């Protein structure tokens, strides 16, 4: 779910030397509001009811996660990160895969050029998102956000930008068995199934329309830099992916025929 938080406190920007001390600063107020929405050091969301519907990972999922080989130092290096919010690899992996988030993607307002221009802005806007997990409803989460903001600062306008329902594939059944075997054929490795935060909009819609399992097979690696300026995809993964898909569709066709 993505949204905008907008606060307007005047008709035009003013000089801080003339109005500072009395004039409200919408940038500062939005920063305070964001801090009340979530703890930036732990990532925990403070909005009442935000975690109520979260579907926690099953023991089987946690067992899969333990086989993933997740390494915190490699994760940091691949993504170019400094120290993380936590040091425990299990806690970090679950935070990445299983827990919802509140993120701030940008704050605009005031003088955006180089140097300092001592003005007090008349309006400011924050661009935020929540990465949701299974059982969370994006429209309900937006309503919780809007209600929370209205209590904290009634003048802030909360505008919904877009929503996307979370999806969780079943780890059992013919299709998932076929996926496991296909990955073994394509890469010569036993797959590990984890939750992933990549947004594929049509999946939840397809789940509602078609009463069939939907298997998501990921072939990209962390070092490929998804959405980064230097995003790439190497031939080894592409070739393995093609082999995997051939084996997968062959097995699924056999299941249907049987």
Going from the first residue of the chain to its last (258 residues), give the mean pLDDT of each consecutive group of 10, the final group possibly shorter. 97 93 96 97 97 90 84 91 93 91 95 92 97 94 98 97 88 88 93 81 84 85 81 91 94 73
In this structure, the answer to whether residues 125 and 31 fall within a common structural domain is yes
Q: Of 42, 213, 56, 26, nearest to 123 (Cα)?
A: 26
* CB-based contacts of 205-210 (< 8 A; 24+ apart in sequence): 207/167
pLDDT of residue 136: 94
Q: Is 198 contained in some domain?
A: yes
The one-character DSSP state at 38 is B
In this structure, the answer to whether residues 136 and 215 fall within a common structural domain is no
In this structure, the answer to whether residues 151 and 192 fall within a common structural domain is no
C-alpha distances in angstroms, 48 versus 38, 108, 126, 141? Answer: 11, 27, 20, 10
The answer to whether 39 and 140 have CB atoms below 8 angstroms apart is no
Give CA–CA dist 252/177, Å, rounded.
10
Q: Of 122, 134, 123, 124, nearest to 104 (Cα)?
A: 124
In this structure, the answer to whether residues 138 and 182 fall within a common structural domain is no
In this structure, the answer to whether residues 197 and 157 fall within a common structural domain is no
Q: Is 188 contained in some domain?
A: yes
In this structure, the answer to whether residues 130 and 216 fall within a common structural domain is no
Q: Is 87 contained in some domain?
A: no
Instruction: Supply the range of the domain harboring residue 198.
Output: 174-257
Phi and psi, residue 244, nearest 5°: -60, -45
pLDDT of residue 241: 94
In this structure, the answer to whether residues 140 and 178 fall within a common structural domain is no
In this structure, the answer to whether residues 156 and 184 fall within a common structural domain is no
Helices (H), the chain: 16-19, 26-37, 59-66, 72-79, 89-97, 138-152, 174-187, 202-209, 235-257
Place of tokens 């309503």: 143
pTM: 0.88
How many separate domains does the chain show? 2
Q: Is 61 contained in some domain?
A: no
């Amino acid at each position: 779910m993505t949204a905008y938080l907008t606060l307007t406190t005047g008709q035009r920007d003013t000089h801080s030397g003339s109005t500072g001390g009395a004039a409200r600063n919408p940038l500062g107020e939005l920063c305070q509001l964001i801090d009340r929405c979530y703890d930036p050091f732990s990532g925990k969301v403070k909005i009442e009811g935000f975690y109520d519907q979260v579907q926690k990972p099953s023991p089987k999922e946690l067992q899969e996660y333990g086989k993933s080989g997740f390494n915190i130092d490699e994760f940091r290096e691949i993504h170019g990160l400094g120290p993380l919010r936590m040091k425990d690899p299990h806690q970090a992996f679950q935070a990445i895969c299983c827990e919802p988030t509140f993120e701030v993607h940008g704050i605009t307002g005031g003088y955006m050029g180089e140097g300092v221009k001592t003005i007090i802005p008349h309006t400011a806007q924050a661009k935020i998102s929540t990465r949701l997990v299974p059982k969370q409803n994006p429209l309900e989460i937006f309503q919780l956000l809007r209600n929370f903001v209205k209590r904290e600062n009634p003048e802030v306008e909360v505008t919904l930008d877009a929503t996307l329902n979370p999806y969780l594939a079943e780890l059992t059944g013919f299709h998932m068995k076929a996926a496991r075997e296909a990955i073994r054929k394509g890469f010569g490795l036993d797959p590990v199934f984890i939750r992933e935060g990549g947004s594929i909009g049509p999946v939840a819609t397809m789940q509602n329309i078609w009463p069939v399992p939907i298997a998501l097979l990921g072939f990209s690696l962390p070092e490929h830099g998804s959405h980064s300026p230097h995003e790439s995809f190497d031939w080894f993964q592409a070739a393995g992916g093609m082999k995997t898909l051939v084996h997968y569709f062959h097995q699924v066709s056999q299941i249907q025929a049987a």
